Chains A and B, each alone.
Chain A
Amino acid sequence: MKKIINDPSQVVAEMVDGLVRSYPDIVELIPETEAVVRADSDTMEGKVGLISGGGSGHEPAHAGFVGKGMLSAAVCGQVFTSPTPDQIYEAIKAADHGKGVFMVVKNYSGDVMNFDMAKDLAEMDDIRVKSIVVDDDIAVENSLYTQGRRGVAGTILMHKILGAAADQGASLDEIAALAQAVLPHIKTIGVALNAATVPEVGKPGFELKEDEIEYGVGIHSEPGYRTEKIKPSNELCQELLGKLDSELHLSEDKSYAVLVNGMGATPLMEQYIFSHDLLNQLEEKGIKPDFMRVGNYMTSIDMAGLSLTILELADEAWLDYLRYPVKTIAWNN
């Protein structure tokens, strides 16, 4: 393992400290936690608070999306491990300005339970809390009888949309309804070239041969659905787009937002090449996305690979929310 770190057990504390001290005008540390809140609390006055969080290792998610127009606060758990309820509860308190707090949670059993307990704690303090559990990864079959699908890069589009609505004064109930409306329209699928190495573990989560790739790998190196030989970008794109198409039934009569997301070790050059293939293939279907982003939004430490998210903009207002001005470390409009 070769990493720019000090003590592996201190990576989260040191990372969070570095982040808040590098961007003091945008975020600050919530005392005695590894959670961050907007530096400018005036921007949250009279508005619903929006928080998220999860295990660390997905930077810039989620702390990089804290700022006016997006998240109010974010909680950074240990690497790939859900944060604890007490920390989430501190973030809820920091984000609450009398209108309640909305939580964006990714669908992992740990995250769901810890955020739920934090909600119980906050309600004892008379803070109203609602939440959405994002499950955009279509690699896993959906089923009522399992944990269901995982939450991955599409979560960032949820942050952006809800953050814009909150900034414009939407109520807690309105934000909850908006989140429910958007959720079924966000779908993501990824491909990995190799797995991530967790600092405390010291070796990759799984092994792929030099010339192999795996489709559908999760952001914690969860196994995907198929391993194959590496292919040209346009063929990878065909596979990923085909999967999304079978879920979303892409049509030239509809409007879409697209996120090409790097997993951490894939250069932007390759992400743009993939985007070139993607836009060509969409064009063949008569589709031109109304909104697109390319870059590292939801990473998996040093995993190589990328994910493709498509959001069907079933309501025109969602496009305005995506374009709404925002000032965070990792997303600026």
Chain B
Amino acid sequence: MDLALDQATKWLELFGDEIEKNKAYLSDLDTPIGDADHGFNMARGMEAVETSLAQKAPADLAGLFKQTAMALITKVGGASGPLYGTAFLEMSKQAAQTSELNSLLAAALAGIKKRGGAAAGDKTMVDVWEAVLPELAQGTLTDAKIDEAVEATKPLIAKKGRASYLGERSKGHIDPGAMSSGYLFKALLKAVA
């Protein structure tokens, strides 16, 4: 399906709400296997996205994603800033050619993997993206499937990011970036419904 500008705008709005609502929870997830800042980092970023979009309404999908990327890149910091920032920057580039949702998201995932070097199974946000994209393409994605993908990071041993310093001890905890990506896809489902 093609993603329309108003759907994408709605998507970002819903994602921002979800992050704001769950910022403490995300930082809590980041406490045992990280440095307790993921929720605050993302909330700072999505607030900047909101401000940027309120100041200047983007003309098209490419513009919307570019503004989003720049706000995230300049405000989030940490590991998730460049990762989500790259995802939206790649979607912006892709949107110049097509507004087909699956190809936009495929470009975003390729960007995240290139930037962070993580693969599926490394206990990062990449796990959720890898699980969700094929389901979305087949039209079979549901909230429950997103939850499943997030939950699936729990038994894994982290191989990338701060959590990897813990080795075996990273088992038994949900990855915070996987959770925030879960919110991203739930917001998307709602926005395009």
Contacts and interface: CB of A to CB of B under 8 A. Distances in A.
B42 to A, nearest CB: 12
B166 A114 contact: no
A77 B116 CA distance: 20
B61 to A, nearest CB: 22
Contact of A218 (B77, B86, B158, B165): B165
Interface string B164-176: 1111010000000
Contacts of A222: 162, 165
B37 interface: yes
A200 B77 CA distance: 16
A69 B115 CA distance: 33
B85 A81 contact: no
A84 B73 contact: yes
A109 B83 CA distance: 10
A154 interface: no
Nearest to B80: A110
B81 interface: yes
Contact of A81 (B77, B160, B165): B77
A232 to B, nearest CB: 29
B85 A117 contact: yes
B49 to A, nearest CB: 14
Interface in B48-80: 73-79
Task: Determine the interface band of chain A, counting residues with CB < 8 A from chain B.
Answer: 20 to 34
B164 A114 contact: no
Contacts of A113: 79, 81-83, 115-116
A201 B77 contact: no
A146 B78 CA distance: 17
B37 A80 contact: yes
DSSP majority for the A interface? Answer: loop
A83 B73 CA distance: 10
Contacts of A109: 79, 116, 160-162
Contacts, number: 80
A140 interface: yes
Interface centre among B41, B83, B162 (most CB of A within 10 A): B162
Interface string B8-49: 000000000000000000000000000111001100000000
B159 interface: yes
Contacts of B76: 84
A113 B114 CA distance: 10
Contact of B35 (A116, A117, A220): A220
Interface string A170-206: 0000000000000000000000000000001100010
B77 A82 contact: yes
A14 to B, nearest CB: 18
Contact of B162 (A77, A83, A108): A108
Interface string B141-172: 00000000000000000111110111101000
Contact of B77 (A84, A145, A147): A84
A141 B161 CA distance: 14
A85 interface: yes
A86 interface: yes
Contact of B165 (A78, A150, A200, A201): A150
A325 interface: no
A289 interface: no
A169 interface: no
Contacts of A108: 79, 162
Contacts of B164: 146-147
Interface in A77-120: 77-78, 80-86, 108-110, 113-114, 116-117
Interface of A: 77-78, 80-86, 108-110, 113-114, 116-117, 140-141, 145-147, 150, 200-201, 205, 218, 220-223
Interface of B: 35-37, 40-41, 73-79, 81-83, 85-86, 115-116, 158-162, 164-167, 169
Given A84-B77, A85-B74, 18 more contacts: A77-B77, A81-B77, A82-B79, A82-B81, A84-B74, A86-B74, A108-B162, A113-B81, A113-B82, A114-B82, A116-B82, A117-B115, A145-B159, A146-B159, A147-B164, A218-B165, A221-B35, A223-B169
